[in-house]
Amino acid sequence: MIVSKKALSRRTVLRGMGASLALPLLDAMVPAMTAQAATAAKPAKRIGYVYMPMGSDIARWTPPGNDLTKLSPTLESLAPHVGHLNVITNLEVKSAYPGTHATSNSSFLSCARAKWTESSDYELGTTVDQIAAQHIGQQTALPSLELCMDLLATVGQCDNGYACVYQNNLSWSSPTTPLQAEAHPRIVFEKLFGEGGTSEDRLAALKKRSSLLDWVKEDIARLSSKLGPEDRTRLDEYLGSVREVERRIQRAEEGVAKNELPDLDRPVGVPPAYADHAKLLFDLQVLALQADITRVVTFQLARETSNRTYPEVGVNDPHHPLTHHGGDVEKIAKMAKINAFHVSLFAYLLEKLKTTRDGDGSLLDHCLYLYGSGMGNPNVHDHTNLPILVAGAVKAGRHIRYAQPTPLANLHLTLLEKAGVKMDSFADSKGKVDELLTL
């Protein structure tokens, strides 16, 4: 028998004027009659990191048992995802001492000691996400995607003589090269789907047209006619997600004039509610991973020393002062509410990943996500017993407890290996988290 069917390239892109639309993983991208032809296409490996600032109320964070049959109050929103979730207790990052907000942020992904300086001679270390990007990000349009929620325009020194760059940036591609994150959903959308010209040119092109999908609709129709029923459904779901995200971005931009009390930490043109802004950036992450535009993502949920308030959950006090609670039970309860709110947004991401099809499973089946903070107890600025979650393609449903403080670098090294990056050590690692190495 002669089989002449030609597989669709995994790098297939639909193009319109000033725009390009990458596609999700389709069965049509598997060569006919290969060993994989009877099943869905083989998925790529992806890894993401979500940073929660200023630690947690660890008493309300820590699950009571060695499994996740009963979750703690702060983690209750993650109940639907315990089959993809692990909680790890008693990890530490020694390089973050002498205990500052700047070093909490900077050491989280680097496990390196930040050079104490207020000037531009800053120095840290290559972060683990960028090591992943060097290995699994080179086949994608964007080796990595850096996102944040705040407008990080501060310069000079921000915390006990440390330059603001340490608080502003999670990702460093070298010890002297921080990577600036983006908070504006429109600019992120343009970065993912714009094509050609300068960034300003592409952004202007996106704003002029009514919709990205309108510019590639002929290519969409042509492609759809060549796909099987399963692939057409998958493509329709993906295009629907793109259009919905685009619609929400447009609605946020149109609402700028109605916002009488702008948040100075938030760029103009983003949703006025914190949760809506965060969910939009999570949705953009999902689209980027689904279409294989990138395989490595970092996201800073808020900046260290953030004075943001959270009226959505009844907390009108600024976050940072609440973390210096001095044992005040009312302040601790409010801080825990913020912790739980941030975790609920991570639960939103996991739900989106779980309901997005990818190959023979979901995106959540084929991703690794680390959620946590570089600070433990914010009242004393310590960096031990960190609040840490791992979700995705690992053996799950466990509360992994270490009897003694253990390097966070062990976990970074383990997740790199799970993502296909083999290294003997990372920073101050002393081994790996063996429980996560088998499914």
pLDDT in tens, 341-370: 999 999 999 999 999 999 889 999 999 999
Task: Report percent pLDDT > 90 for the chain.
Answer: 64
CATH code, residues 41-183+270-436: 3.40.720.10
Strands (E), 124-209: 145-148, 157-159, 162-163, 171-174, 177-179
pLDDT of residue 195 exceeding 70? no
Model pLDDT, residue 360: 86
**Rounded to 5°, angle at Cα 302 from 301 and 305:** 155
Residue (of 301, 331, 299, 327) closest to 318 by Cα position: 331
Q: How many residues does the chain have?
A: 439
Name which residue leads in pLDDT, 201 or 271. 271
Residue (of 311, 374, 400) closest to 56 by Cα position: 374
Q: What confidence tens digit (pLDDT) does each residue in 14-41 have?
A: 776 566 788 888 878 866 434 443 334 5
Model pLDDT, residue 156: 58
Model pLDDT, residue 328: 96
Structural domain boundaries of the chain? 41-183+270-436, 186-265
Residue 279 CB neighbours (<10 A): 18
Structure tokens belonging to residue 279 = 């969910």
Task: Report percent pLDDT > 70 for the chain.
Answer: 85
pLDDT band at 110 (very low <50, low <70, confident <90, very high): very high
**Rounded to 5°, angle at Cα 182 from 177 and 185:** 165
Strands laid side by side in the 296-300 sheet: 145-148, 296-300, 46-51, 367-372, 388-392, 85-92, 398-407
Mean pLDDT of the chain: 87
Q: What confidence tens digit (pLDDT) does each residue in 407-433 have?
A: 999 999 999 999 999 999 999 999 999
Residue range 320-337: average pLDDT? 96
At 43, phi and psi to the nearest 5?
Answer: -80, 160
Residue range 178-188: average pLDDT? 92
Residue 311 CB neighbours (<10 A): 9
Which range has the worst mean pLDDT, 92-101, 154-163, 282-291?
154-163
pLDDT of residue 43 exceeding 90? no
Model pLDDT, residue 50: 98
Name which residue leads in pLDDT, 254 or 88. 88
Burial of 324 (0-12, 13-18, 19+ CB in 10 A): middle
Which amino acid belongs to residue 273? A
pLDDT of residue 272 exceeding 50? yes
Cβ contact 77:66 at 8 Å: no
Q: What confidence tens digit (pLDDT) does each residue in 211-260 have?
A: 777 778 778 888 888 888 888 888 888 888 888 888 888 888 776 545 44
Name which residue leads in pLDDT, 201 or 320. 320
Structure tokens belonging to residue 382 = 């310590």
Model pLDDT, residue 207: 59
What kind and span of H or E run contains 87? strand 85-92
Residue range 175-184: average pLDDT? 94
